[in-house]
A = this chain, B = another copy of it.
Amino acid sequence: MLAEREPVTLRALVAGTGASTMAVYTHFGGMPGLWSAVRQEGFTRLARRLDAVPHTGDPVHDLAALGVAYARNALDSPELYRAMFDTRADLADAPAADATFDRLVVAVARARDEGRLDAGTDPGALATRYWAAGHGLVSLVVQGVLPAGVLGPLATDTAVALLTAAGDDPARCRRSVERAWAPG
């Protein structure tokens, strides 16, 4: 129903299943609980896609690849992404988001420890800036404000700016990031 943009109502949900509306209450405790479960599933899928990103010898490329995976995940199922960051979302779902965010922090720390970023770089802070910028871009694209075609170039330039400011060599950084966005 999410993918087909049909309104997700309790009665329409159980219509084809042969079950009654009570099933939703015994298993999810109501519609908010069901949406919470949907968001959990969304973050689980995101985590799976991030985990599928291989480690290479270039930690900056891997960092960019995480961003690409994040963007592709969102654009493959935009309705799910919107549900994950819905304005009505419960704050109790934040830990699931934090769990996937940790992967980004680790990748930043690795890029720093391997000498690509300044030794004084705070992985958590840079990962937050990186994520917020990416989330902002993806949100606007998913919302339809920005066309999907501009996401790659904009994300590339933003990533290069953030990582260069953190100490990476500009030209080398751009090569690493652009390689992550290359098709295939």
Contacts and interface: CB of A to CB of B under 8 A. Distances in A.
Given A125-B154, A137-B136, A143 B97 contact: no
Contacts of A89: 143
Contacts of A139: 85, 132, 135-136, 139
A184 to B, nearest CB: 26
A163 to B, nearest CB: 9
Interface string A140-173: 1001111000100110011011101110001000
A158 B158 CA distance: 9
Interface residues of A, number: 37
Copies in the complex: 2
Interface string A119-139: 000000100110111111101
A122 to B, nearest CB: 10
A91 interface: yes
B157 A133 contact: no
Contact of A132 (B86, B140, B144): B140
A173 to B, nearest CB: 10
A85 B138 CA distance: 13
Contact of A164 (B129, B131, B154, B165): B165
A150 to B, nearest CB: 8
A10 interface: no
